[in-house]
Amino acid sequence: MNNENEKENRLLEAIGGIDENFIKNAAPGPGSGSKKINYIRLVAIAAAFVILVIAGALLIPGLFKNSASTEKPDNNRPDTPTVTGTGVAQNSPAPTQSGGDNRQEKEPDTDDKDRPVTSRGSVDLMEGIAVSSAAAAVPSAEMLNRAADFAFKLFKACYNGENMLISPLSVAAALGMATNGAEGDTLSGMEETLGMSRKMINDYIDHVTQKIAKDGVLTLANSIWFRDKLSDGSLFNVREDFLNKNALFYRASLYKAPFDAGTVKDINDWVNKNTHEMIPTLLDQIPDNTLMYLINALVFEGAWRAPFDPNSTARSTFTEEDGTQGSAEYMHSEEDLLYIKCANAKGFAKYYEGDKYAYVALLPNEGTTVSELVNSLDGHSFRSMLSDAYEWPVELFLPKYKTEYSLDMNKVLSDLGMGIAFTDSADFSGISDLNLAIGSVAHKTFMSVDEKGTVAAAITGVSLYCNADHLLIRLDRPFIYMLVDMTTGVPFFTGAMMSME
């Protein structure tokens, strides 16, 4: 019997939560019989059940919570980032957008204090947040024709009879990010300029980023920089939906910064890094009323499928349209190239390694100017020209050159239909409650063509400024006025001003 008592006591102690005196008093004494033993067993089982219930109540919700935090939403973009933290307007409703995506987004449990800060004060809001690698939209023929149309529309608008080099893709990416904050006539004007709806440009850049720019030959990078505080010390709250869409479709890095000399250095460092040091700077300074920069960087580094022999390179004459003669170093080859011909020009396409990209040149027929050739081209005709090209033996003399170009595109883009975006009437309410407008669209390019291949880079920076950090109220028409005791809210003078004598 004593052994049995010890077993009962050990069982109760193992369950825990049972007072030691209770165990002692509940142990069967002389003459107590089996009923008391059964009673103790019943108490032990009941106590065990209560403890299990309590443990379940504490642990099970935690298990569900952990499961929910790691389970990906059932949607097309399982890892869509949701940007949170100081300066991000999480609860302010964003206007309904005609393009984009209503898919659920995953919210990281982080705040600015957990994010890396550069020595100059810029906070990387995307550090540690994975962006979805879900399949991009398959580009339609219409999408590609419209993208090519924009390329030639921009080419025509920028060409001024002198050397020039632009990257329509870089410009489209930077403007595309801005469309995600544009509304009303501002959005319509930008869509007219791009020749694509907001949804189409988002899908196109998403496709380029995922499908085209992953081979290491052509690479794109996008970033958004916004001022941490306004001039009055209040936060510049940026709509969460605007930031999320640009992180989703453009893989944009997001930075909150003080917009001082240190930020200029941070932005230029980003530009230098993401153009592989071909374009070292974008900014000299940041104007006081500039609140945001949307920046695209593009790099191409391609080696010829059939390199030129350096020993065949020789200097010869280059004759300009007005008859002026100069000289250039000409690379020479005899090879099978894609021969291109149209009504007023002939040319070729020379492939880079991998046969995914090619250098295309068109030489106007005698009597045709470059301007006339440029103005005759559009996206559809150019793509048709390439599809009709055929391989043919060509003796090629290609100048070896290096060129740089920069352009403020405000006038060009205004002439193409988005002028309202640069005025006080601009509507970028999808970005912030403040009255924002585009201050400048700065574009820089670089290209070097030699015997080994071609390297090129482009940078496009769209700056957005606030007409004022405050609402503008001009008392230039009839108004009422009061003197008020602000401790009580009671006016002690009231008046109306209907005219000024």
Cα separation, 220 vs 98, whole angstroms: 26
Cα atoms found within 13 Å of the Cα of residue 448, Cβ hemisphere only: 9
The alpha-helical segments, DSSP class H, found in 71-167 are: 141-158
Torsion angle in degrees (nearest 10) through CA of 329, 335, 336, 341: 30
pLDDT at 164: 87
pLDDT at 284: 94
Work out the angle at residue 498's Cα, subtended by the Cα atoms of residues 496 and 501, and round it to the nearest 5 degrees.
115
Structure tokens at 404: 């740089």
Q: Strand, coil or helix: what is 357? A: coil
Cα separation, 93 vs 430, whole angstroms: 9
Torsion angle in degrees (nearest 10) through CA of 271, 275, 277, 278: -120
Give the contacts of 180 (CB within 8 A, at least 6 positions apart): 97, 100, 198, 202, 242, 245, 246, 249, 430
Cα separation, 147 vs 220, whole angstroms: 16
Strands 88-89 and 238-239, how do they pair? parallel
pLDDT at 210: 84
- Residue pair 238/105 in contact by the 8 Å Cβ criterion: no
Give the C-alpha distances (Å, rounded to integers) separating 160 from 164, 229, 325, 360, 495: 8, 41, 20, 21, 60
Instruction: Give 423's DSSP letter.
Output: S
Cα separation, 282 vs 270, whole angstroms: 10
pLDDT at 191: 98
Quick one: 43 exposed, middle or buried, by C-beta within 10 A (0-12, 13-18, 19+)?
Answer: middle
pLDDT at 332: 87
Cα separation, 363 vs 339, whole angstroms: 12
H helix or E strand, kind and range, residue 235: none
Cα separation, 262 vs 267, whole angstroms: 9
Quick one: 17 exposed, middle or buried, by C-beta within 10 A (0-12, 13-18, 19+)?
Answer: exposed
Cα separation, 308 vs 316, whole angstroms: 17
H helix or E strand, kind and range, residue 263: helix 261-274
- In the block, tokens 């306004």 appear at 230
Torsion angle in degrees (nearest 10) through CA of 262, 267, 273, 275: -150
Q: Strand, coil or helix: what is 397? A: strand
DSSP string, 1-40: -HHHHHHHHHHHHHH----HHHHHHHS--TT-HHHHHHHH
Cα separation, 38 vs 335, whole angstroms: 100
How many residues does the structure list for the chain? 501
pLDDT at 88: 61
Cα separation, 136 vs 126, whole angstroms: 21
- Residue pair 220/296 in contact by the 8 Å Cβ criterion: yes
Quick one: 434 exposed, middle or buried, by C-beta within 10 A (0-12, 13-18, 19+)?
Answer: buried
Q: How far is CA 430 from the centre of its chain?
A: 15
For the chain, 501 residues long, give each residue's pLDDT as a single digit of tens: 444 444 444 433 433 333 333 333 333 343 444 444 444 454 444 444 444 444 444 443 443 333 333 333 333 443 445 555 446 655 344 434 444 443 333 333 335 544 555 657 778 777 666 666 566 677 888 988 898 899 989 989 998 888 888 999 999 999 999 999 999 999 999 999 999 999 999 999 998 888 776 678 889 999 999 999 888 888 888 999 999 999 999 999 999 999 999 999 999 999 999 999 999 999 999 998 999 999 999 998 999 999 999 999 999 888 888 888 888 888 889 899 888 888 888 888 888 898 888 888 888 888 888 899 889 988 888 888 888 988 888 888 888 888 898 999 999 999 999 999 999 899 999 999 888 999 999 999 998 988 898 888 899 999 998 866 434 344 456 543 433 344 335 434 345 555 444
pLDDT at 133: 57
pLDDT at 87: 63
